Amino acid sequence: MSARPLRVVGHPVPRVDAIEKVTGRARYVTDLTLPGMAHAKVLRSPYAHARVRRVDVTRARARPGVFAALAGADLTWCDPYYGPAYRDRPVLAIGVARYEGEPVAAVAAVDEATAEEALELIDVDYEPLAPVMTLEEALAEDAPLVHAGQPPAGHFADLSTLRPRPGTNICHQFQFARGDAAAALGGADVVVEDAYRFPPVQHVALEPHAAVAAWDETGALTLWASTQNPYSVRVELAKMFDVPLARIRVVVPHLGGGFGSKTYAKLEPLAATLARAAARPVRLAASVPEAFQTVRRCASRVAVRAGFRRDGTLVAVACDADYDVGAYADIGPRVVQKGTYTATGPYRVPHVRLEARAVYTNTTPGGAFRGFGVPQLAWALESLFDVAADRLDRDPVDLRRQNFLAHGEEFAPGDTPIDGKLEESLSRAAEAIGWTRAPAADRGRGVAAMLKASVAPSVSEAIVRLHADGSVTVLASAVEMGQGTRTVLTQIAAEVLSVPLARVTVVQPDTAVTPYDQTTSSSRSTAMTGRAVQVAAEDVRDQLLAIAAQNLGVAARELALADGAVVAPARRLTYPEALALKFGMSGGELIGRGVIAPGRTAAPLGGSTPFWEMAVGAAEVSVDEETGAVRVERYVSVADVGRAINPLLLEGQDEGGVVQGLGHTLLEEMLYADGHLLNGTLLVYRVPRADDTPSELECHFVENADGSGPFGAKGAGEGSLIPVSPAVANALARLTGVRLRDLPLTPERVWRALRARSPRA
């Protein structure tokens, strides 16, 4: 053959969006300007819980330059509620404000200054009510109710069996069991148990939430939004405004980070409502403090009991988890059940009892956040594994290795067998951290492992177009938010069709143009959307081979694609030549379609996970016993990724996940007092800086091409975050003998624990 196939998968090719981002040419939602566009501002409740007796927007409406001023009582012309699990969240507070910062009124004006001034003219009569700010307060007998009635279910099929407990603040309950956990724990030689707390934390995406909404004269809505879920947002808006899906268009420009904060509807319903009332385009952009009042990670209290035989075999796990989902359910019920389902981690456990509750409180709504409920549970189980190792006089690495699920082993009946090699990941992490070598006297080492299921059932579609000049367009709705999705999809199409990367264009998500994709979350974009792109490109490839076979008189099996051409043993046919033969002119294009939709199965949650995400972390720490400051000196992350489509992008994802995990491990916590958020700005909410990162940070990948994604890839990106907290805490315990159960491991918290341990206290 005269040319060799191009190979780009598995190589660290440059990001396709790098130049436009580093030069400032990339356009984000807040860079967009439409003719006649108004600017929106929101009046928010100063109370965590209050009856809203009256909202008077009369003076605001009369202010020159104001196009619309709305309160909840004005929204009689639409369905003013939304939410993916329950439709419990009003666009503007109706009757009751349920958390500090809840939108109570909003204005759209000629500019931001006028909008701000109009907010000052709005008169609100509040009657403060007793709030429930913690899980303990919300679950107490006779606790004030965050929601007095039962809101209708949202649009997720797998949440059609929502199980609230009427008359309480419990909006969902989840149970899963196999075997007889109570009997197995009763007969175990060693039982370890304790309760662990995980704090509420904010995503701190560099770009806060934003949306631009515009209705046209036909009643169709176009929305430019910083969202990870354009198709879910479209469903919400169609329901609210009773408009066919086809008449709602959601466009996603560049996204400045998400981490789950931009999944499902956030600002979009309010932006669309204001645009309808103002009869002009409206831009609504949150500030950083407003992002703290929009969504956060669900806090948790997790109690775990684990039983072992004397030889170290894990026989039973019982887990009782309460998740604080805040004032509105958002996606909290799914977080609870997806996370709790894998509360037993990557271990073989014959007897299991798992119970979890999603609990309303009068705080910022809790939603999806990188790890999706699993970090809260892994924090508990992986800490207890080290406690068990001490009780059994076993090495923590060896105890984990003994109990790991094996490749191909069943996790739960009906679900996908384990598709990775956990022992290989653990061995590589242990070797890299120097586990078998004694650490320095002032250092301690710890390990932790994780297992996470991806969302299921799940659907991704893609279209690949081969144009008359041999260039390629990929249509897919996976959102690029810094993780490198556009680059990876470009690589996949280029590899299958053997064209240079520069000849492939990936269109940004637009529900009027790009086909359906369920969500850009759950580490699924490469595995699911990438696989759909691969199938669509293979469809085009097969069409090319059929054209060439017919015109060259050669069997398709004797043909191959190489360097933008179909290559036969004795002849080379470029793609433009092949299309000209197909259409009889220099025009027309080949279109391939890929649909990945495994559908519902007998798995416990209704669909088998498309892949298992698994990773191991190993930490080496030091501590200043005079101040309690913990320093992570070295960290090793090992992720089982199947195949690294772009190793450099994957390394960036892994490193970012580790550093983000260090945030909630050592620094981050949203603090409330008397119903008020005390640290809802970046002046006082501390996120990791460059000098907080480990001096040595290594990322390794296990690649056995055993994933269901393109070229054997599996999802990655969340797994590296999850082991960080228990690995660091386990290292701290091995160094000092102090076992902490509440995150973050702040200097004060560590200092107090050290003093409680020490005779010098």
Q: What is the pLDDT of residue 760?
A: 44
pTM assigned to the model: 0.96
Within-domain flag for 194: no
- The CB-side HSE value for 107 (13 A sphere, CA atoms) comes to 29
- Using DSSP bridges, classify how beta strands 460-466 and 472-475 pair: parallel, antiparallel or unpaired: antiparallel
Q: Do residues 646 and 590 both lie within one domain?
A: no
Radius of gyration of the chain from its Cα atoms, rounded to whole angstroms: 27
Distances (CA, A) of 236 to 38, 226, 253: 23, 15, 20
Distances (CA, A) of 424 to 192, 304, 407, 450, 566: 27, 27, 10, 14, 41
Residue range 216-250, pLDDT digits in tens: 999 999 999 999 999 999 999 999 999 999 999 99
Residue at a domain's end among 596, 626, 659 = 596
Q: Do residues 446 and 517 both lie within one domain?
A: no
Within-domain flag for 396: yes
- In the structure encoding, which two tokens stand for residue 185, read together? 């724990």
Q: Which parts of 391-435 are beta strand (E)? A: none
Q: For residues 639 and 701, is the Cβ–Cβ distance under 8 A?
A: yes
Within-domain flag for 116: yes
Within-domain flag for 13: no
DSSP 433-475: HTTTSPPPTT-EEEEEEEEEEPPSS--EEEEEEE-TTS-EEEE
Q: Any idea which of 2-11, 194-203, 266-275 has the lowest mean pLDDT?
A: 2-11
* Cα(107)–Cα(61) distance, integer angstroms: 8
Within-domain flag for 548: yes
Q: What is the pLDDT of residue 2?
A: 44
- The strands making up 590-596's β-sheet, listed across from edge to edge, are 504-507, 472-475, 460-466, 590-596
Closest CA to 406 of 441, 464, 451, 361: 451
- In the structure encoding, which two tokens stand for residue 380, read together? 């508990």
Q: For residues 229 and 520, is the Cβ–Cβ distance under 8 A?
A: yes
Q: For residues 89 and 365, is the Cβ–Cβ distance under 8 A?
A: yes
Strand partners, 613: 452
Q: What is the pLDDT of residue 159?
A: 64
Q: What is the pLDDT of residue 157?
A: 59
Q: For residues 714 and 642, is the Cβ–Cβ distance under 8 A?
A: yes
Residue range 15-39, pLDDT digits in tens: 999 999 999 999 999 999 999 999 9
Residue range 605-661, pLDDT digits in tens: 999 999 999 999 999 999 999 999 999 999 999 999 999 999 999 999 999 999 999
Within-domain flag for 143: no
Q: For residues 269 and 42, is the Cβ–Cβ distance under 8 A?
A: no
Q: Do residues 479 and 558 both lie within one domain?
A: yes
Q: Do residues 273 and 334 both lie within one domain?
A: no
CATH of residue 221's domain is 3.90.1170.50
Q: What is the pLDDT of residue 761?
A: 35
Within-domain flag for 273: yes
Q: Do residues 617 and 548 both lie within one domain?
A: no
Average model confidence (pLDDT) across the chain: 96
Q: Do residues 321 and 434 both lie within one domain?
A: yes
Residue range 202-222, pLDDT digits in tens: 999 999 999 999 999 999 999
Residue at a domain's end among 596, 611, 644 = 596
The enclosing H or E element of 676 equals: strand 676-677
Angle at 295 between CA 480 and CA 479, to 5 degrees: 10
b/e sequence 82-120, b meaning 16+ C-beta within 10 Å: bbbbbbbbbbbbbebbbbbbbbbbbbbbeeeebbebbbe
Residue-number span of the structural domain to which 278 is assigned: 32-131+204-292
Q: Do residues 730 and 581 both lie within one domain?
A: no
* Cα(620)–Cα(730) distance, integer angstroms: 10
Helices (H) then strands (E): counts for the chain: 18, 32
Torsion angle of C-alpha atoms 682, 685, 689, 692, degrees rounded to 10: 170
Q: Do residues 463 and 448 both lie within one domain?
A: no
Burial class of residue 77 in the structure, from the number of CB atoms within 10 Å of its CB (0-12 exposed, 13-18 middle, 19+ buried): exposed
Burial class of residue 183 in the structure, from the number of CB atoms within 10 Å of its CB (0-12 exposed, 13-18 middle, 19+ buried): exposed
Q: What is the pLDDT of residue 248?
A: 98
Residue range 552-573, pLDDT digits in tens: 999 999 999 999 999 998 899 9
Q: What is the pLDDT of residue 36?
A: 97
Backbone angles phi, psi at 412, to 5 degrees: -150, 150
- Quick one: what percent of the chain has pLDDT higher than 90? 95
Q: For residues 259 and 192, is the Cβ–Cβ distance under 8 A?
A: no
Q: For residues 638 and 740, is the Cβ–Cβ distance under 8 A?
A: no
- Using DSSP bridges, classify how beta strands 629-640 and 460-466 pair: parallel, antiparallel or unpaired: unpaired
Q: What is the mean pLDDT of residues 478-498?
A: 97
CATH of residue 316's domain is 3.30.365.10
Q: Do residues 451 and 486 both lie within one domain?
A: no
Q: Do residues 355 and 393 both lie within one domain?
A: yes
**Residue 118 pLDDT more than 90?**
yes
- Quick one: what percent of the chain has pLDDT higher than 70? 98
Q: How many domains does the chain have?
A: 3
* Cα(372)–Cα(333) distance, integer angstroms: 11
Q: What is the pLDDT of residue 617?
A: 98
Q: What is the pLDDT of residue 150?
A: 77
Q: For residues 649 and 674, is the Cβ–Cβ distance under 8 A?
A: no
Residue at a domain's end among 292, 323, 352 = 292
Q: What is the pLDDT of residue 619?
A: 98
Q: How confident is the model at residue 163 (pLDDT cuts 50, 70, 90)?
A: confident
Q: Which residues have CB under 8 Å from 557's CB, separation 6+?
A: none
Within-domain flag for 431: yes
Burial class of residue 40 in the structure, from the number of CB atoms within 10 Å of its CB (0-12 exposed, 13-18 middle, 19+ buried): buried
Q: At what angle do helices 530-552 and 575-583 cross, to 10 degrees?
A: 70
Q: Do residues 609 and 568 both lie within one domain?
A: no
Q: Do residues 622 and 748 both lie within one domain?
A: yes
Q: Which residues have CB under 8 Å from 512's CB, separation 6+?
A: 249, 251
